[in-house]
């Protein structure tokens, strides 16, 4: 059963070594992410699953101790998904590497942790089913859900400007901030893909996991500093 969730964005720029001189611009966002993870620890889960968008080859599942690297972003930095005596084979996709980095800032040792990549094109129905399976796998499950909103908020955004982006992000932010499962379920997958909203599928996995759990939501932060929608929220 799902007992808590933290929703965080997944830009590699959250890692100060990757952001370099621009790191202070995201200080408040990093702090909110760490506050959200604190809610997971307070829920005393017996299993933590980190979800995030991933290509097919990086979906996993990724066991505890799996390693991620930021070398693709020009930084010689590795992170691991929790502690393990021996790192398993395979590398975390970028979204889960950012999640692992956030966990490392909190010295997470409250429960076993694993990672699962979610295809951005996964249908809502399959997302919901995957979430139900995750929640049923242990008595007390917590989720760290990584993913961004639209990448089309401004003309300088990665996906350029799309007038639909602000409305999509507003709906997603309201749903994430209030743990509104029906509103998350009906987020349009085709529109999310057009707007390059990498978090849509992971958020719908969360919606499936939260069915029947009676969780309430709180939106800690919402911003779009680079034309990409970032949300930080907690469910408990």
Residues 6+ apart with CB under 8 A from 59: 93, 116, 117, 118, 119
pLDDT at 42: 93
pLDDT at 108: 82
**Nearest Cα to Cα of residue 167 among 188, 185, 198:** 188
Neighbours of 27 (CB within 10 A): 11
pLDDT at 183: 98
Helix or strand holding residue 206 (H, E): helix 200-209
Which parts of the chain have pLDDT scores under 50?
none
Asked if the peptide bond before residue 61 counts as cis, ω within 30 degrees of 0, the response is yes
pLDDT at 109: 80
CATH code of the domain covering residue 166? 3.40.830.10
Residues 6+ apart with CB under 8 A from 12: 18, 70, 73, 94, 97, 98
pLDDT at 47: 96
pLDDT at 1: 97
At 48-89, the pLDDT tens digits run 999 999 998 779 899 999 999 999 999 999 999 988 766 676
**Rounded to two decimals, what is the model's pTM?**
0.96
Neighbours of 140 (CB within 10 A): 15
pLDDT at 90: 73
Domain count, the chain: 1
CA distance 85 to 75: 24
List the domain range (segments joined by +) for residue 151: 2-235
């Amino acid at each position: 059963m799902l007992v808590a969730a933290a929703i965080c964005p997944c830009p590699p720029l959250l890692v100060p070594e990757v952001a370099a001189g621009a790191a202070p611009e995201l200080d408040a966002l990093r702090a909110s992410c760490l506050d959200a993870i604190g809610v997971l620890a307070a829920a005393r889960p017996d299993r933590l699953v980190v979800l995030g968008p991933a290509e097919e080859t990086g979906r996993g599942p990724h066991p505890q101790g799996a390693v991620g690297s930021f070398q693709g972003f020009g930084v010689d930095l590795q992170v691991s998904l929790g502690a393990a005596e021996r790192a398993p084979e395979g590398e975390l996709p970028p979204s889960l590497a950012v999640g692992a980095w956030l966990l490392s800032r909190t010295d997470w040792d409250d429960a076993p942790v694993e990672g699962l990549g979610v295809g951005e094109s996964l249908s809502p129905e399959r997302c919901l089913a995957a979430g139900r399976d995750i929640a049923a796998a242990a008595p007390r499950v917590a989720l760290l859900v990584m993913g961004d909103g639209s990448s089309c908020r401004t003309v300088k955004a990665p996906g350029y400007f799309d007038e639909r982006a602000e409305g999509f992000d507003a709906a997603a932010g309201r749903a994430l901030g209030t743990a509104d499962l029906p509103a998350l379920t009906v987020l349009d997958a085709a529109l999310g893909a057009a707007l390059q909203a990498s978090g849509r599928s992971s958020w719908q996995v969360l919606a499936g996991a939260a069915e029947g759990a009676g969780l309430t939501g709180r939106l800690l932060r919402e911003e779009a500093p680079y034309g990409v929608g970032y949300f930080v929220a907690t469910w408990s």
